[in-house]
Structure 1
């Protein structure tokens, strides 16, 4: 089954590469980089509906935060009841915690399949691109692993900022750093072209996360603050005449 997936993806990648070469791109390294870029773009477009669904789920979580805080306060000494009530709140509002994780997990099986796809490509050793002397060998200057770690961390950081904190106390910042560090270490052994796929995918994911998650969350947070300020002003305006009337009665 897995080999069938690898063969299928190899067929797609070879077709893209042959198309790019047929368009007149004679440089071997550049033709493979363009092929991996187009391939990455296709994958990310296919994943986009999952990203949109996850963004809606995240905004749903943001809206139920006031009720979430009440539940946390009410059942802070009963973790079992707390989890049960939180799950009920998610279900009643059609919100899923897993919804935000799916888009970030989907590229991993593709990465594994591509690893074997590139393992089977033979006879093109020495294909270079920019500072990379051999696209089908690890980066000798170790720049790609650093870029892989950074590009893994940034979209997950934006997602964390756009996602309300959870009652289970999970430290998402630590998890994001661990994931980024793991991808950086793994990239030291991967072929450069595979790491390029990962970096390109993460850059596209960063743009999607910014516009689908981070930006709307910041906008909603600012609107909530402005609404609270207006509400406080209204309360103060109502209280002032009452306080003045009370002072006059005391003087009498």
Structure 2
């Protein structure tokens, strides 16, 4: 990985925050995406335009995958790719919640090598490089060492608690929390604020690429719902759910069907 990738992502994420905060709580124009893919705002598009120009000009040989850019197969022929969510948690952004994020990653041969997740409204910047550890505002991150699933605090949503997902139809009695942004949920696990996060539905790569590296570099484990390694830059850019945790990862995976 070129040594410039993490500084490049950090600078771009800071610029994204500057743009987004100009729209935040100012009721930007909102459109509904086709295919029931949720809302998009003029802030999402402005951030995406800036990131496209800044990142692609800095590394023109990298492929490009962004939630707000039509996908094409050209990225599949590249060695490295930018994987970007201009605003993760657009509904939170629209509703004036603080829990939206910019998620920026570089992927090489299917693995994330650099990742940044920023929450401008909260003043938080999570960052990681492969083999280099994970930080929050420059300070090292570590996942929790909780191993008892009943004592765990897990970020998830109600559909994931349907009995048919769990062995014997019994949902473990862990504590439950929620945040709008998948990227932020992953970072909260890396930070040790929660013991795990779980989503069992197919997940877009741009939502999880940066955060998954931040978890793993905080000594945690981030896999798909079956416990398999996450692989990025797929022809169809989704993975089969995400399970990210500290020491409780094995127990949580073992409780799932």
TM-score w.r.t. structure 1 length?
0.27
More strand by share: 2
More helix by share: 1
> Which structure has the larger Rg over C-alpha atoms?
1
Bigger relative contact order (CA 8 A; separation at least 6): 1
